[in-house]
A and B are shown apart, each in its own frame.
Chain A
Amino acid sequence: MNLEKRKLELSTGKTAWYEYDRDGDVLEIIFRLDEATGAVELTESIILRFDWASNEPLSLSFISFSRLLQANPYGEVHFQLLMEQWPDEVRAKIWPMLQRTPLSDFLKLSGYAPAHTHQIIPMATIKQPYLMPQAA
């Protein structure tokens, strides 16, 4: 496996670990090296592992990472949060987790209002500064 590893200093001053699998194009940001007691698909390309008891995130994984950051003509890309797939008790844990650090260092929440409907669809954009590849 061809892994690129480095440390990240978060906005809180805490350290996280960046581990990019070049062959598989999967990036994992590890906040704490511990066994997860819960995990969900946040979006079609982002997996969150967390500690069920403390409601703390353990890692975020980005699938097809290099494609997620590609430029597009419309600006930031908003990815739909797959909330309907989360069991209710998980939803109650995840939503507050998404609104605070460290997850808020990497994801920004938003809502999409499609035309001709009252429904608001929860979305997230990827904050890039921590995630951009470093110069050699």
Chain B
Amino acid sequence: MRKWFVHDGDGREIYLTEERWEHIQVRHGELKNHLDDVLNTVQRGKRRQQPQDPQAFIYRLRCDTLRPPFNGILVVVVFRFESQENNGNMIPNNFIVRAWGITMRQ
């Protein structure tokens, strides 16, 4: 299963699995064939912590290549930890959960 890795504006490594990307494209057809724009939203978008969940963040960026009236992309990223199999050390596990095309005020 493929994974795409990007770094956000503050250098945090975040990945998107092929399984989640397929799910996003099936459910949110406005993002079909817009993988680069979704990843770009994480790289360059404005980041906002979810008020109820300190481990979840929204990345949001204007995107004028989507079909109207969509003009922006919103990506949910969770920042978790997982233990390494060989030594039990905790390492970051930051991944894209979901993405939507949205209609934003100009």
* A interface with B by C-beta (< 8 Å): 1, 21, 23-26, 28, 35-41, 44-45, 47, 49, 52, 61, 63-64, 67-68, 70, 84-87, 90
B20–A1 CB distance below 8 A: yes
Q: Is B56 an interface residue (CB 8 A)?
A: yes
Smallest distance from the beta carbon of A72 to chain B beta carbons, Å? 10
Tell me the minimal C-beta distance from A85 to chain B in angstroms.
5
Among candidates B23, B53, B74, B106, residue contacting A1 with C-beta atoms closer than 8 Å: B23
Bound-state CA distance A39–B30 (Å) is 10
Contact count band on B: 20 to 34
Q: A37-B69, A52-B69, A67-B52 are in contact. Are A26 and B29 (CB under 8 A)?
A: no
User: Which of B6-14, B39-47, B84-92, B95-103 interfaces with chain A?
Assistant: B95-103
Interface contact B52-A24, CB-CB below 8 Å: no
- Closest Cβ–Cβ distance, residue B71 to chain A (whole Å): 9
B97 near A21: Cβ-Cβ < 8 Å: yes
B101: which of A39, A52, A87 is its contact (CB, 8 Å)? A39
What are the interface flags for B16-36 relative to A under an 8 Å C-beta threshold, 1 for contact and 0 otherwise? 000110010001111000000
Q: Are the CB atoms of A84 and B69 closer together than 8 Å?
A: no
* Whole-angstrom distance between the Cβ of B45 and the nearest chain A Cβ: 13
Say yes or no: B52 contacts A39, CB within 8 Å. Answer: no
> A47 CA to B58 CA in the complex, in Å?
12
**For the complex, what is the distance from the CA of A21 to the CA of B24, rounded to whole Å?**
12
Complex interface: chain A residues within 8 A of B30 (CB): 35-36, 39
**Contact flag A87-B103 (CB < 8 Å), given A24-B76, A24-B97, A35-B30:** yes
- Report how far A121 CA is from B15 CA in the complex, Å: 37
Nearest-CB distance from A16 to chain B (Å)? 15
> Cβ of B70 and Cβ of A39 under 8 Å apart?
yes
Q: B residues within 8 A CB of A85?
A: 104-105
Q: Are B103 and A63 in contact (CB under 8 A)?
A: no
Which residue of chain A lies nearest to B76 when distances are taken between CB atoms in the complex?
A63
Taking A35-B29, A47-B100 as contacts, is the C-beta distance between A41 and B74 under 8 angstroms? yes
CB-CB under 8 A from B70, the residues of chain A are: 38-39
Task: Let me know if B103 and A25 touch, CB within 8 A.
Answer: no
CA distance A1 to B28 in the complex (A): 17
